[in-house]
Amino acid sequence: MAAEPHVAPNGPTIRESERCYPSEVLKAAACLPTATLHEAGGRIGVMPCAIKPVSPGFRLCGPAVTVHGPGGDNLWLHRAIYVAKPGDVLVVYVNGEYDYGYWGEIMSAAAQARHLAGLVVDGCVRDGAMLADAGFPIFARGLCVRGTGKDFGATGFINYPTLFDGLVVRPGDLIVGDGDGVVALPGDVAADIVEKAKQREDKEAEIVRRIQAGERTLEVYNF
């Protein structure tokens, strides 16, 4: 007898994943620096600057699956792994209670099995060396060994607009992370921002060429 298919977590505070731009936009964004995307979008989308890659080589790009979970609890992160679709990035808010290890080796293995594109968490993770070796891209505030609980009576949210400092990240927003940090680009204008970012990269390459040829920044920018 064939095994019954697994059912994704569901409930009144869980919504389906969203994305509103073609795969070509994702491919292009994956090759662009976060700083360029931020500038090309009109200096928008900067997630808290304390969030950095757990391993220096980590980079991620994909549509956001937003998660708002209780502080000190990672049950909603487990659920989000199985709500998210291949290529999605989990973007997690933990109610400002940063100093817990919300994610570790086992969860990275689960996310890789689901072919997710990465994790951005406004809190800490643990198993740092193992996470680096596993290669699943993780961006966090740092490392913390403190364990989390799992309160089955607590309310969380998956794929609802979520606030990170002054930035609202919405389901389906384009998330890009590199060594400088993480940007979240509104899904409905992501394609336009990526195109402007490509043009900006070409322009900056020409400016670098001019400076290397002997021009000064003062004249290049007419300062």
DSSP string, the chain: -PPPPPPPP--TTB------S-HHHHHHHTTS-HHHHHHHTTS--BPPTT-EESSTT--EEEEEEEEE--TTB-HHHHHHHHHS-TT-EEEEE-TT---SB---HHHHHHHHHTT--EEEESSEE--HHHHHHH---EEESEE-----B--TTS--EESS-EEETTEEE-TT-EEEEETTEEEEE-GGGHHHHHHHHHHHHHHHHHHHHHHHTT--HHHHTT-
Annotated binding-site members for Mg(2+)? 127
**Contacts for 181 with CB less than 8 Å, ≥ 6 apart:** 34, 46, 47, 49, 51, 52, 139
Binding-site annotation, residues:
104-107, 126-127
Return the sign of the alpha-carbon dihedral for residues 202, 204, 205, 210.
positive
Annotated binding site for substrate: 104-107, 126
Cross-strand partners of 178: 181
**Whole-number Å distance between alpha carbons of 84 and 118:** 11
